[in-house]
Structure 1
Amino acid sequence: MTKSRFILHYLLLNKYAYLFAIFCILIVNWLQVEIPRYIQQAIDLFGDQSEASRQELFGYVEWVVGLSVVMVVFRILSRMYALNPGRITEAALKNDLFYKLNRLPNSFHKGFGSGKLISIINNDLNGIRLFYGIGFLQLFNVIFALSLTPIWMWRISPALTLYSIIPILLAFVVFRIGFRKMRALHGERLTRLQDLSEQLMNYLSGIDLIKNQQMDTWVLNEIEQVNQRLLTCTMQITRIQTFIMPVLDYANNLMKVLILGLGGYFLLQQNLTLGEITAFLSYSVLLALPLMHLGRIATVYQMGMVSIDSVLTILNSTIPEQDMALQTPADLTALGQGTLTVSHLAYQYPDGDSAVLHDISFELTPGKKVGILGSIGAGKSTLVNCLNHHLDVAPGMIHWNGRDITTLARQDWRALVRTITQEPYLFSNTIEQNVRFGSTDLAKSEVDQVLQLSQFAEDIARFQDGDQTLVGEKGIMLSGGQKQRLSIARALLSPSDLIIMDNVLSAVDYDTERKILGGLLDRISHQSVLIVSHRISALEEMDEILVLEAGAIVARGDHHSLLRSSAYYKATWDLQQNETEAVT
């Protein structure tokens, strides 16, 4: 999408409101130039004491009052129908951005920090809201005012009009210089805001590490540097707004001096009447307001253009073609209860020097339970991210029911596969709402059941507010084990054909682990399960266990056969048995 298409698309979103607003703005500006004409005629009648002149004077006053009331009504309507579309556009654009961000692949989010995205959605969208709101209103105010007012001034005195325009023309030369400089600075300022937002997000995410390592002084210095660059840029903008952009205001004051001086001379020469001088001064005020608004329009325009550039970097990012081709509900149902086939899977990170996974092959039929055992760095999490298509894998390596998963939209694939990660994300809400996330239409009894299965019910019973306890941001009020059990309950609540558990029981003790796995396997006996762990105790009941080392499968079989055939598996089992006995 080009910038011009973007502007036109969101203008047409509120086209009827804008058209009515333009009509109202035209009426307001026409009334503004008509009222001084009645004032002029009324003042010229002051010298005539006849009854007819007095009645005519009262008539002019009534016209001025009546037209002023009508102008106020249309001015209110113009503001309503010109400013509200800015808010409507902001809301529509946020929806479009969230839709896009939710479908862009992991490769996009890796190159675009969360802090920058937050800054765009907050700061840049404010600029676009002003562009489609106050910017639209002031633009047409200026167009109509600069079109109508000089015509009415010319009718009174062409010579005085030409003299009045001279300081305005000189001011525009200076104004244009400041305008060009301001646009570059506004772009730099929004970039600085994105950098500051991204850095703050990074430091807030690692606040515990910063406190533990006593890095607060270093962090403050880093933030100060970024903040200082933002301040320097903002001060440059402020100087231009203070000393250069008001040049039109200075020109307006000079124009009034010229009108008073030359108008007084024309009055003495009897070329103009006192009423005409008064009307001309009124027109100069009407001309001054849009000229002063030009500075504001320039600022809003620059902010809008720069903000649109930032937003287009997201909107113009490419969503993979297959992610847009969603399956029908019937086709998605037909894909259910399938067999996951992994054939010679290999994966190398785009910025890596060598492959992380080598020739991984296995099959997971409906209802089968498979375990993956491996030490840290063996490639377990990479394998999981390949299976759930979080990472982009080559075609032909992973199939579901004979269908290559790279041909499926990620949204469809994740409707079939439920992944429970080692570090679950919890929202700042109640325990119940975190479990219900995405499944709000289910009964409360089902929530209680999955909390019981995940061995979290006893903990909840000890909380003062039960399952209505607020977990805090990212679940800060819960322990690591409680977070993991809550995430398991969330995954169990909604149905899926394949459940992948990526080392989710690492923060619970062995006894709790066995209880969770026992209840879990009973509930999902008809579903396929893939459990990744470095604990053999979590994998004892699996139908097949794959031993992963350095990204390759070095052994496979059930628990008892691996104890006989794999030295690594046997050594790991003995070591963990000793650890368990020591804890006991």
Structure 2
Amino acid sequence: MQLDAPQSKAHLIWHYFWQNRLSYSLAILFILLVNWLQVEIPLMVKTAIDLLMANVADNQDALMSSVWMIIGASLVLIVIRTLSRMFGLNPGRFVEAQLKNDLFAKLNRLTDSFHSANNSGKLISIINNDISGIRLFFGIGFMQLFNIIFALSFTPFYMWRISPSLTVYSFLPIIFAFAIYRIGFVKMRKLWTDRMHSLQGLSEQLVHFLSGMDVIKAEHMGPWVQNEIAQANQELLDITVKIQRIQVFIMPVLDYANQMMKILILGLGAVMVLNAELTVGEITAFLSYSVMLAVPFGGLGRILSVIQMGMVSIESVMTILNSKIDPTNLKRLSEADSNAIQRSTLKVNNLSYRYPNSESDEPTLKNISFELPQGKKLGILGSVGSGKTTLVNCLNHLYDLEPGMLIYGEHDITDWSRHDWHKQVRTITQDPYLFSATLNENVKFGSEHNANAPTLSVEEAIAAAQLSSDVERFAEQGNTMVGEKGIMLSGGQKQRVSIARALYTPADILILDNVLSAVDYDTERAIMSELSSKLVDRSLVVVSHRVSALQEMDEILVLKEGEIIARGTHSELLKTSSYYQQTWELQQNDQEASA
């Protein structure tokens, strides 16, 4: 069962606890048995010692029986302790895996506004560092918490049964230590929160710098980057050192108090044995219980640190899980409905858009209208800042639009989930993302989950993208690893791989957002010719600032400052639009100069 939006930390904790309820229930049962056997064994030892202090010859059978009971109980204790750890620690790993799945599922459904406000570095830190804290919380934290609860319940009770007065005296150092421990506990919580934010900040910086490594090298910014990372790292180190100081000097105070307890027991207990108030066996059992308390008291500081870290991590994770999802993104069209609307006409009606945080009152797009029926090839021409990318993002339903602005067939796109709309439209951007896999795998990426069956083989798609000659020169050809983000390929090769990917499993509407900017004019013409022949029954939108890429389009829209200032075919615009004609002539001169 997936967790979408926990209302509180308690809700999240209960959700994953309930998912692993069987394992936790068995763990609690075995932890209970472990602690019961631990306090019973000293009583068996007490009985054996008292028998030794009496007449051994008369009590030999009873003594041997006690010894065998101690051995048997110890062996059973080993088995039960092993089972308690198995059932207590495994849920932590299960929760870690399930929580990662829940986070990825939620991140996949959140809109661009969320990802703009929370950069990749922060999200990576949450998924890696914070989930590790939650794993410890649900694993060792849970197991040791119940272990300490049972130990601090059974052991003092059995000590009280032996000597109430000695129990009261021996616990005086513990009461004093708890007062000091509370001070450290409060400081630790704030420091864990600071450490989490520092880790997220460092992760954000690393992602930014790694993404811009080429610029850093070209501009000789290495020393500045090193200084920035060193400062962030030093801040993290300072916080971590403060945490370590508290863990070393304040948190072990309970362990120190336990040592004082033993001294009191030895001193007062010896007096009580001399006064015949306690037997040697009883004082031995009492000392055994004080030794048993050393484990929960010594582990209490560490476990509470794990719990604190887990609670802080849960707060961080909830910033993702509690983020609101657009209700329309939760809708899903049935397969029959999805198939019925294929090959429809896209209508754009008076599309206007203004960025929410824009300082200008002027919209970026102003009253854009056009139709894109099945099989039509539409070109969009515009210079930098004309609104081309904003229009593409609107066509992809990445931004929130007013109802009626985008109509596909008879359906308003704003009523659809982005998941359903992206089955119908595919966009290739000028900065394509390639995965660290083979070239062939990058071409086929996503095809197994695509609603459209492949129409070409991988080799045919590569050939149509004018990439065959490049692939033949690779040592492993189609099985060549392209590296992270396609680092082994040139900019033009990466763009052509993304075109091959789109041709392998095309959608009803294919949008090319300035993807031919990194290829030469001859390759551009060849690719456009292949696209026209391979996408006869599909709609094509080509966005470019190069007129040569749009010559064969059925209609060309000319954008300037967010408005359509002209429309028509290439030949028509050369006659009717001075802007188009000037752009064409300038680019023709550049092309001739390059030749």
After superposition, what is the alpha-carbon deviation per residue over 1:420-472, rounded to whole angstroms, capped at 9, x for unaligned? 11000011111111111111487897111111111111111110011111111
Q: Structure 1: any 5+ residue segments left out of the alignment?
A: none
The answer on whether the counterparts of 2:455 and 2:504 sit within 8 Å (CA) in structure 1 is: no
Is 1:579 the counterpart of 2:585? The answer is: no
Deviations 1:328-350 (A, max 9, x none): 11111112111111111111111
2:355 paired with 1:349: yes
AA at the equivalent of 1:306: V
1:327 has 2:333 as partner: yes
- What is the aligned counterpart of 1:147 among 153, 169, 184? 153
Distance in 2, Cα, partners of 1:261 & 1:30: 28
Q: Counterpart in 2 of 1:439?
A: 447
- The aligned residue for residue 464 of structure 1 is 475
Q: Which residue of 2 aligns with 1:227?
A: 233
Give a deviation string over 1:357-383, Cα, whole Å, max 9, x none. 111111101111100011111111111
Pair 444,461 (structure 1): closer, same or farther in 2 beyond 3 Å = farther
SS at match of 1:74: helix
**Deviation per CA, 1:469-524, whole angstroms, max 9, x where unpaired?**
11111111000000000000111111311000001111011111111111111111
Question: Of the candidates 557, 561, 578, which is equivalent to residue 572 of structure 2?
Answer: 561
Per the alignment, residue 162 of structure 1 pairs with 168
Partners of 2:546 and 2:455 lie apart in 1 by: 33
Q: State the shift of 1:114 in Å.
A: 0.6
| 1:304-360 deviation line (CA, Å, top 9, x unaligned) | 111111111111100001000111111111121111111111111112113111111
Please tell me whether residue 27 in structure 1 is matched to residue 55 in structure 2. Answer: no
Q: Deviations over 1:213-239 (max 9, x none)?
A: 111111122122222221111111111
Give the aligned partner of residue 23 of structure 2. Answer: 17
CA RMSD of aligned residues (A): 1.3
Query: Hey, what's the Cα distance between the residues in 2 that align with 1:28 and 1:522?
Result: 75
Q: Any residues of structure 2 matched to 1:99-498 within 5 Å, and which? A: 99-352=105-358, 353=360, 354-440=362-448, 446-498=457-509
Identify the residue that residue 520 of structure 1 maps to in structure 2: 531
Determine helix, strand or coil for the equivalent of 1:554: strand
Residue in structure 2 matched with residue 68 of structure 1 by the alignment? 74
Alpha-carbon distance in structure 1 between the residues aligned to 2:586 and 2:454: 44
Normalised by the length of structure 1, the TM-score is 0.98
2:14 alignment counterpart:
8
1:340 maps to amino acid:
L
In structure 2, how many angstroms separate the alpha carbons of the residues matched to 1:329 and 1:81? 43
Q: What letter matches 2:41 in structure 1?
A: I
**SS across alignment from 1:32:** helix
CA distance in 2, matches of 1:425, 1:492: 16
Distance 1:481 1:429 in 2: 18
How far apart, CA to CA, are the structure 2 residues paired with 1:336 and 1:285? 75
Distance in 2, matches of 1:367 and 1:294, equals 70
Question: Offset of 1:70 from its aligned partner?
Answer: 0.6
> Within the alignment, does 1:541 sit opposite 2:552 as a pair?
yes
- Greater Cα shift, 297-306 or 571-580: 571-580
Residues 454, 506 of structure 2: 8 Å contact kept = no
Matched, 1:501 2:512: yes
Contact 2:377-2:539 at 8 Å conserved across structures? yes
Instruction: Give the structure 1 partner of residue 4 of structure 2.
Output: none
* SS at structure 2 position matched to 1:152: helix
Aligned 8 A contact 2:133 2:313 in 1 = yes
2:251–2:301 Cα contact (<8 Å) kept: yes
Cα distance in 2 for partners of 1:477, 1:483 equals: 9
Tell me by how many angstroms 1:414 deviates: 0.4
For 1:511 and 1:308, the matched residues in 2 are separated by 56
Q: Distance in 2 between matches of 1:248 and 1:213?
A: 56
* Residue identity opposite 2:571 in structure 1: H
Separation in structure 1 between the aligned mates of residue 97 and residue 14 of structure 2, nearest angstrom:
17
Please tell me the residue identity of whatever aligns with 2:30. Answer: C
Cα distance between partner residues in 2 of 1:388 and 1:103 = 15
User: CA offsets, 1:360-414, max 9 Å, x none?
Assistant: 1111011111000111111111110110012222222111113221111000000
Counterpart secondary structure, 2:423: helix
| Cα distance in 2, alignment partners of residues 426 and 56 from structure 1 | 77
Give CA deviations for 1:153-191 in whole Å, capped at 9, x if unaligned.
111111111111111111111111111111111011101
Which of 51, 59, 65 does residue 57 from structure 2 map onto?
Answer: 51
Give the number of aligned pairs: 584
Q: What is the letter of the counterpart of residue 206 of structure 1?
A: G
Secondary structure at 1:358 match in 2: strand
Separation in 2, partners of 1:454, 1:488: 6
Letter in 2 for 1:537: S
Out of 86, 94, 107, the position equivalent to 1:88 is 94
Unaligned runs of 5+ in 2: 1-6
TM-score (norm 2): 0.96
Aligned to 1:40: 46
| Residues 189, 308 of structure 2: 8 Å contact kept | yes
Alignment-mate amino acid for residue 300 of structure 1:
V
SS where residue 424 of structure 1 aligns? coil
How many Å separate the matches in 1 of 2:95 and 2:287? 39
Mapped to 1, the partners of 2:250 and 2:54 lie a distance apart of: 48
Deviates more, 1:552-561 or 1:512-521: 512-521
In 2: Cα distance, 1:568 partner to 1:344 partner: 23
Which is worse superposed, 98-107 or 435-444? 435-444
DSSP 3-state at the match of 1:478: coil
What is the CA distance between 1:51 and its match in structure 2?
3.3
Take 1:95 and 1:192, find their aligned partners in 2: how far apart are those partners?
A: 25
1:20-62 residue CA offsets vs partner (Å, 9 max, x unmatched)? 0000000100000011111111112223454342222222111
